[in-house]
């Protein structure tokens, strides 16, 4: 026995959704919002209504708290940072002004200081002239011998001795024995004193020779400048 065929239902008239690229103004559906913009409630009347229900002390307390919060926010977030910055700027300005005053004072003192330096440099050059170095000592000894020869003195002995070193200079003694008249010996010693070098006469003794001549025995000390490598090294002081 054959089963009865099911009742054939007529096909439903389903509306097909248009493809996205086939949407036109005619088949576009308007979007529905939960609430139109013109119907959004205004919160200000609500706050006014709530404030109206509060008692006067609560209103006063609310106003005070609002003022304190606004004042505190203004102080900590606006006023205090600006005030700190102003204090730092004032300190910087004061420091710069003090430095400017110091620089002006130094600028005023620079010229006299430069003059003092120039004088000290000239004095040093003069002292360096009076204290020759090692290379100039033979020429100086030749000058001394030449002065004696010019005055007609008889040179019996002209013998440089070993030099004695001090802190920054060395003394070079020269043993000198000459014979001549009193006048010529005086002129010889005067010319030695006028040389552009330091010459010191020590241990001077005179004795009479034949006729009017005198024999002079003395030690001539001249000096020279010591280089840094020639200076005696200072011994370190022992701790007690």
State pLDDT tens for residues 143-189: 888 888 888 888 888 888 888 888 878 888 888 888 888 888 888 88
Regarding predicted confidence, which is higher, 132 or 215? Answer: 215
Residue 20: DSSP 8-state:
G
Indicate the pLDDT class of residue 48, thresholds 50, 70 and 90: low
State pLDDT tens for residues 185-228: 888 888 888 887 788 888 888 888 877 788 889 998 888 877 77
Contact 160, 173 (CB under 8 A): yes
Indicate the pLDDT class of residue 33, thresholds 50, 70 and 90: very low
The pLDDT of residue 4 is 52
Following DSSP, what letter does each residue of 83-149 receive, concatenated?
HHHHHHHHHHHHHHHHHHHHHHHHHHHHHHHHHHHHHHHHHHHHHHHHS--GGGHHHHHHHHHHHHH
The pLDDT of residue 40 is 52
Residue 228: DSSP 8-state:
T
Cβ partners under 8 Å of residue 4, min gap 6: none
Chain position carrying tokens 């209504």: 49
Q: How far is 104 from 81, CA to CA, in rounded Å?
A: 34
The pLDDT of residue 67 is 79
* Whether residue 37 has pLDDT greater than 70: no
- Mean pLDDT for the chain overall: 75
Chain position carrying tokens 């404030």: 51
The pLDDT of residue 82 is 85
Nearest-5° angle of CA 25, CA 26, CA 29? 80
Mean pLDDT of 38-45: 57
State pLDDT tens for residues 69-122: 888 888 878 888 888 888 899 899 999 989 888 888 888 878 787 888 888 778
């Amino acid at each position: 026995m054959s089963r009865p065929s099911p009742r054939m239902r007529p096909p439903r008239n389903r509306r097909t959704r248009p493809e996205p690229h086939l949407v036109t103004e005619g088949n576009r559906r308007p979007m529905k919002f939960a609430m139109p913009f013109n119907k959004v409630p205004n919160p200000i009347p609500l706050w006014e209504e709530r404030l109206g229900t509060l008692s006067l002390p609560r209103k006063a307390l609310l106003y005070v708290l609002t003022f304190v919060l606004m004042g505190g926010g203004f102080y900590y977030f606006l006023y205090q940072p600006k005030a700190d910055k102003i204090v730092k700027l004032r300190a910087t300005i004061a420091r710069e002004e003090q430095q400017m005053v110091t620089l002006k004072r130094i600028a005023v003192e620079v010229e006299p200081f430069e003059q003092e330096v120039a004088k000290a440099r000239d004095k040093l050059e003069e002292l360096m002239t009076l204290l020759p170095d090692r290379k100039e000592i033979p020429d100086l000894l030749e000058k001394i011998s030449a002065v004696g020869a010019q005055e007609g003195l008889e040179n019996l002995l002209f013998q440089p001795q070993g030099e004695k070193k001090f802190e920054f200079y060395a003394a070079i003694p020269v043993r000198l024995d000459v014979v001549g008249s009193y006048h010529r010996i005086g002129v010889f010693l005067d010319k030695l004193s006028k040389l552009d070098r330091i010459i010191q006469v020590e241990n001077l003794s005179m004795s009479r020779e034949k006729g009017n001549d005198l024999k002079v025995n003395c030690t001539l000390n001249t000096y020279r400048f010591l280089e840094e490598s020639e200076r005696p090294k200072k011994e370190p002081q022992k701790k007690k």
